[in-house]
Structure 1
Amino acid sequence: MNLSSQLHETAKRLPQKPAYYFMDQSSTYAELDGAITKFASGLEQLGVKKGDHVGLLLGNSPYFIIGMYGALRLGATVIPINPIYTPDEIGYILNNGDVKVVVALDLLLPLAEKMHGALPSVENFIVCETPQGKEANTDLSKLTVAPKLKAFTQVLVSGDLSYKGPELDEDDVAVILYTSGTTGKPKGAMLTHKNLFSNARDVGQYLHMNEDDRVITTLPMFHVFCLTVALNAPFMTGATILIDPKFSPQEIFRLAKKFEPTVFAGVPTMYNFLYQYPEGNPEDLKSLRLCISGGASMPVSLLKAFEEKFNVLISEGYGLSEASPVTCFNPLDKPRKPGSIGQSIVNVENRVVNELGEEVPVGEVGELIVRGPNVMKGYYKLPEESAATIRDGWLYTGDLAKVDEEGYFYIVDRKKDLILVGGYNVYPREVEEVLYAHPDVVEAAVLGVPDPNLGEAVRSYVVSKNPELTAEQLHEYCSEHLAKYKVPSSIEFLEELPKNTTGKILRRALKQQVLQN
Structure 2
Amino acid sequence: MAPSQVEAAAQQLLAGLPQRLDQVFRPWARSAPKQPALIGDGKVWTYGALAGIVDDVAAELSKHGVRPGDRVMVVSENSPALAALILAISALDAWSVSVNPRLSEREIDQIRGHCGARVLYYTVEVSELAAAHARRHEAHEVEMGPLGTLAVSPLNEATEPEPVAQDSAQQVAALLYTSGTTGNPKGVMLSHRNILFNASVSRLLRKPTPEDIIYGVLPMSHIVGFSIILAGTLIGGSAVHLVPKYDPAAFVGAVRDHGISLLFGVPTTYQRLLEYKATAGLNALPRGRLRGLYVAGAPLDPTLKAMVEQEFGLPLLNGYGITECAPGISGVRAEAPRSDTSVGTVIPGIEVRLVGRDGAAVAEGTVGELHVRGPNVMRGYYRAPEATAAAIDKEGWFNTGDLARFEGETLFIAGRTKELIIRSGFNVYPAEVEAVLNAHPAVMQSAAVGRAVQANEEVVAYVQLLAGAQATVDDLMAHAARQLTAYKRPSEIVILEALPTSSAGKILKHRLSA
Q: Could you give the per-residue CA deviations for residues 79-120 of structure 1, whole angstroms, max 9, x where no partner exists?
A: 11111111111111111101001111334454344345xxxx
- 1:114 correspondence with 2:136: yes
1:34-53 mapped onto 2 (5 Å cutoff): 34-53=52-71
Shift of 1:25: 3.6
Q: Which of 357, 360, 363 is residue 361 of structure 1 equivalent to?
A: 363
> Which letter does structure 2 place at the counterpart of 1:50?
P
> Which letter does structure 2 place at the counterpart of 1:114?
R
Distance 2:61 2:307 in 1: 49
Aligned to 1:169: 167
Shift of 1:511: 8.4
Q: Which of 101, 107, 112 is residue 83 of structure 1 equivalent to?
A: 101
Distance 2:460 2:321 in 1: 22
- 1:294 correspondence with 2:312: no
> Which letter does structure 2 place at the counterpart of 1:197?
L
Contact 2:104 2:485 in 1 (8 A): no
Q: Could you give the per-residue CA deviations for residues 308-360 of structure 1, whole angstroms, max 9, x where no partner exists?
A: 12212111101111010111110122242521111111112222211233221
Distance 1:99 1:323 in 2: 24
Return 5+ residue gaps in structure 1 as ranges.
117-123, 150-165, 420-427, 437-441, 451-497
Q: Could you give the per-residue CA deviations for residues 419-461 of structure 1, whole angstroms, max 9, x where no partner exists?
A: 9xxxxxxxx99x95xx75xxxxx866598989xxxxxxxxxxx
Secondary structure at the aligned position of 1:99 is classed as coil
Aligned to 1:306: 308
Distance 1:12 1:367 in 2: 45
Aligned to 1:394: 397
1:80-479 mapped onto 2 (5 Å cutoff): 80-106=98-124, 107=128, 108-115=130-137, 168-170=166-168, 171-278=170-277, 279=280, 282=284, 284-391=286-393, 392-405=395-408, 407-417=409-419, 432=452, 436=454
Contact 2:97 2:175 in 1 (8 A): yes
Secondary structure at the aligned position of 2:317 is classed as strand
Secondary structure at the aligned position of 1:277 is classed as helix
Contact 1:294 1:317 in 2 (8 A): yes
Q: Which of 482, 504, 509 is residue 490 of structure 2 equivalent to?
A: 509
Contact 1:206 1:346 in 2 (8 A): no
Distance 1:99 1:446 in 2: 31
Secondary structure at the aligned position of 1:285 is classed as coil
Task: Normalising by structure 2, report the TM-score.
Answer: 0.74
Change beyond 3 A, Cα 1:514–1:325? farther
Secondary structure at the aligned position of 2:185 is classed as coil
Shift of 1:269: 0.5
Shift of 1:225: 1.1
> Which letter does structure 2 place at the counterpart of 1:393?
G
Distance 1:35 1:315 in 2: 35
Aligned to 1:461: none
Distance 2:311 2:100 in 1: 33
> Which letter does structure 1 place at the counterpart of 2:490?
A
Coordinate RMSD, CA, aligned: 3.4
- 1:69 correspondence with 2:107: no
Change beyond 3 A, Cα 1:322–1:418? closer
Change beyond 3 A, Cα 1:229–1:337? farther
Shift of 1:513: 5.3
> Which letter does structure 2 place at the counterpart of 1:173?
V
> Which letter does structure 1 place at the counterpart of 2:414?
V
Contact 1:295 1:318 in 2 (8 A): yes
Contact 1:417 1:447 in 2 (8 A): no
- 1:3 correspondence with 2:21: yes
Q: Could you give the per-residue CA deviations for residues 121-176 of structure 1, whole angstroms, max 9, x where no partner exists?
A: xxx767689xxx99xxx9x9xxxx98769xxxxxxxxxxxxxxxx99430101101
Distance 1:147 1:343 in 2: 48
Secondary structure at the aligned position of 2:210 is classed as coil
Higher relative contact order (CA 8 A, sep 6+): 2
Secondary structure at the aligned position of 1:204 is classed as helix
Secondary structure at the aligned position of 2:54 is classed as helix
Aligned to 1:425: none
Q: Could you give the per-residue CA deviations for residues 51-84 of structure 1, whole angstroms, max 9, x where no partner exists?
A: 1110010001111011100000111101111111
Aligned to 1:423: none
Distance 2:420 2:38 in 1: 42
Aligned to 1:12: 30
Identity rate of aligned residues, in percent? 31
Shift of 1:180: 3.1
Distance 1:48 1:243 in 2: 26
Contact 1:365 1:402 in 2 (8 A): yes
Shift of 1:189: 0.5
Contact 1:103 1:126 in 2 (8 A): no
Q: Could you give the per-residue CA deviations for residues 211-262 of structure 1, whole angstroms, max 9, x where no partner exists?
A: 2211011111211111122111010010011112210110000100111211
Aligned to 2:14: none
Contact 1:125 1:148 in 2 (8 A): no
Secondary structure at the aligned position of 1:284 is classed as coil
Contact 1:48 1:76 in 2 (8 A): yes
Q: Which of 27, 30, 55 is residue 73 of structure 2 equivalent to?
A: 55
Aligned to 2:436: none
Distance 1:25 1:296 in 2: 32
Distance 1:367 1:205 in 2: 28
Distance 1:208 1:78 in 2: 27
Number of equivalenced pairs: 417
> Which letter does structure 2 place at the counterpart of 1:376?
M
Task: Normalising by structure 1, report the TM-score.
Answer: 0.73
Distance 2:108 2:363 in 1: 44
